[in-house]
């Protein structure tokens, strides 16, 4: 299994309601087929829920055949309490066999930067 993570845009704004997309790409490189799910854990003062404080959640990719890839994204939200700093977001992908038993686990982290939004210059 191969796992790729990316964030767009690369910066989330501090001290205001804002969001970025965390894109998760899973490639089935070695199994005939399998069921794939992932856990997403975001840093303190970030959330995967727009109006609350939920730091973790689960994405289901479903079945992926050998040589195929599936891509999903989750929005990560900042709020008025999010200070400017570097945040670490973690994704753990699980691969299940035909009996429903986890047979592979891949964990990857990505760094996200929060900054104060600069006023527009005319």
Whether the pLDDT of residue 88 is over 80: the answer is yes
114 DSSP β-pair partners: 12
Read off the tokens for 63.
């079945």
Are 48 and 91 in contact by the 8 Å Cβ rule? The answer is: no
pLDDT digits (tens, 9 = 90+) for 3-13: 999 999 999 99
pLDDT digits (tens, 9 = 90+) for 37-49: 999 999 999 999 9
pLDDT-based confidence at 52, cuts 50/70/90?
confident
- pLDDT score of 108: 97
Domain chopping of the chain, boundaries: 2-110
pLDDT digits (tens, 9 = 90+) for 61-81: 999 999 999 999 999 999 999
Q: Where does residue 14 rank: exposed (0-12), middle (13-18), buried (19+ CB within 10 A)?
A: buried
Interatomic CA distance for residues 82 and 100, integer angstroms: 39
Whether the pLDDT of residue 102 is over 90: the answer is yes
Output DSSP code: residue 82: -
Give the mean model confidence (pLDDT) for residues 32-41: 94
Read off the tokens for 65.
């055949």
Q: Where are the beta strands (DSSP E) in 1-122?
A: 2-8, 11-13, 18-27, 33-41, 56-65, 69-78, 86-96, 102-115
CATH of 2-110, picked from 3.40.50.2300, 2.60.120.620, 2.60.40.3880, 3.40.630.30, is: 2.60.40.3880
């Amino acid at each position: 299994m191969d796992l790729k993570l990316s964030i767009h845009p690369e910066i989330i704004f501090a001290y205001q309601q804002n969001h970025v997309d965390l894109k998760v790409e899973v490639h089935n490189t070695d199994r005939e087929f399998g069921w794939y799910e992932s856990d997403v854990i975001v840093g303190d003062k970030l959330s995967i829920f727009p109006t609350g404080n939920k730091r973790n959640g689960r994405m289901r990719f479903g079945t992926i055949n050998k040589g195929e890839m599936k891509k999903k994204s989750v929005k990560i939200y900042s709020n008025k309490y999010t200070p400017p700093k570097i945040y670490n977001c973690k994704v753990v992908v699980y691969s299940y066999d035909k009996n429903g038993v986890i047979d592979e686990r891949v964990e990857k982290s990505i760094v996200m930067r929060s900054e104060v939004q600069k006023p527009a210059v005319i």
